[in-house]
């Protein structure tokens, strides 16, 4: 790739969108740039400027709100902030820059798995607020129950009634959100609020609604975990534009739409469930490899 050409095209975009978050990705003869914006559907915020620079919209997709604008020899891929597709592309790019032996054709998924596994992870500092973490917890998988979506719907209604406009987004995630998948009868919920660090803005209202704050993880996307007892609920609270939210939902949607991936995941879950685990989290950690593999497929 002609480095000078890449820099000229970057400069072309930045001249009409000063300060834009812009990355060079790909290795093809076409210059591929990734532009990150708050909302790709708000085309008025960036398309007219890029049209002045000679670009035209060629693709609009609901998939991660993807837009593509082109001019001869150049593609600008537009995604929202916190998009896991952007994370995936940068993960691959940075790995291949440092590992030229992986630049050959084929095997991209395996390369991405190696790249993700090599990302250094800081030891998680978890502050358990309500109770100590459970030990020697058995893992009991139940066959899929058609009642689970109804359980979630009731919890969503409760959350929205408690928080009103403070709910940015709420989604059913985890295994109970995937029809046909065996799971612990546990409703996992992703809740996005304006700022997960501002606990006073949402925790008291959720406590009043019957949940309790169980743990804080400031070093991991400022994650907060609230629980409910009837039914058993894990509520994962994040701030907007969090890549982990996008990864979690991409994994869920892939399992919903691809039978082979759902069967692969269930097979691993069943193999792990028969073992003895000191903590439930150890069981979850043991699923990391298959979860990552399926997530990467979802983002490909």
The DSSP annotation for the chain comes to --HHHHHHHHHHHHHHSTT-EEEEE--SSSEEEEEEES-TT-GGGTHHHHHHTT-EEEEE-SGGG-EEEEETTEEEEEEETT-HHHHHHHHHHHHHHH-GGG-SSS-HHHHHHHHHHTS--PPP--EESSSPPP-S-----B---TTHHHHHHHHHHHHHHHHGGG-SEEEEESGGGSTT--B-S-EEEEEE-S-TT-GGGTHHHHHHTT-EEEEEETTTTTEEEEEETTTTEEEEEE-SS-HHHHHHHHHHHHHHH-HHHHHHHHHHHHHHHTS--SSHHHHHHHTHHHHHHHHHHHH-
Sketch out the chain's domains with CATH numbers: 3-117 (3.30.460.10), 127-299 (3.30.460.10)
Q: What is the pLDDT along the chain (300 residues), one digit of tens a residue?
A: 688 999 999 999 999 999 999 999 987 779 999 999 999 999 999 999 999 999 999 999 999 999 999 999 999 999 999 999 999 999 999 999 999 999 887 789 999 999 999 998 765 688 989 865 554 567 899 999 999 999 999 999 999 999 999 999 999 999 999 999 999 999 999 999 999 999 999 999 999 999 999 999 999 999 999 999 999 999 999 999 999 999 999 999 999 999 999 999 999 999 999 988 877 778 888 999 999 999 999 999
């Amino acid at each position: 790739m002609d480095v000078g050409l890449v820099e000229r095209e970057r400069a072309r975009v930045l001249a009409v969108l000063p300060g834009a978050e812009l990355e060079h990705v790909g290795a093809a003869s076409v210059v591929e740039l990734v532009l990150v914006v708050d909302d790709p559907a708000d085309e008025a915020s960036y398309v007219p400027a890029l049209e002045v620079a000679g670009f035209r919209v060629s693709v609009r997709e609901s998939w991660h709100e993807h837009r593509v604008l082109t001019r001869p020899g150049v593609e600008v891929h537009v995604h929202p902030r916190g998009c896991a597709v952007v994370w995936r592309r940068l993960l691959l790019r940075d790995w291949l820059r440092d590992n030229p032996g992986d630049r050959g054709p084929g095997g991209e998924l395996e390369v991405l798995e190696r790249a993700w596994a090599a990302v250094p992870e800081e030891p998680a500092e978890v502050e358990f607020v309500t109770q100590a973490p459970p030990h020697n917890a058995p893992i009991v998988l139940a066959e899929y129950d058609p009642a689970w979506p109804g359980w979630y719907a009731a919890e969503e209604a409760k959350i929205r009634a408690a928080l009103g406009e403070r709910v940015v987004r709420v989604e059913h995630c985890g295994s109970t959100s995937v029809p046909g998948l065996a799971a612990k009868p546990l409703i996992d919920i992703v809740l996005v609020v304006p700022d997960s660090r501002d606990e006073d803005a949402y925790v008291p209202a959720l406590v009043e609604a019957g949940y309790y704050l169980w743990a804080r993880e400031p070093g991991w996307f400022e994650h907060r975990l609230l629980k409910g007892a009837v039914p058993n609920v894990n509520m994962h609270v994040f701030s907007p534009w969090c890549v982990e939210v996008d990864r979690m939902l991409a994994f869920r949607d892939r399992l919903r739409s691809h039978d082979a991936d759902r069967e692969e995941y269930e097979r691993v879950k069943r193999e792990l469930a028969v073992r003895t685990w000191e903590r439930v989290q150890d069981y979850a950690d043991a699923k990391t490899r298959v979860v990552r593999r399926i997530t990467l497929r979802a983002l490909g």
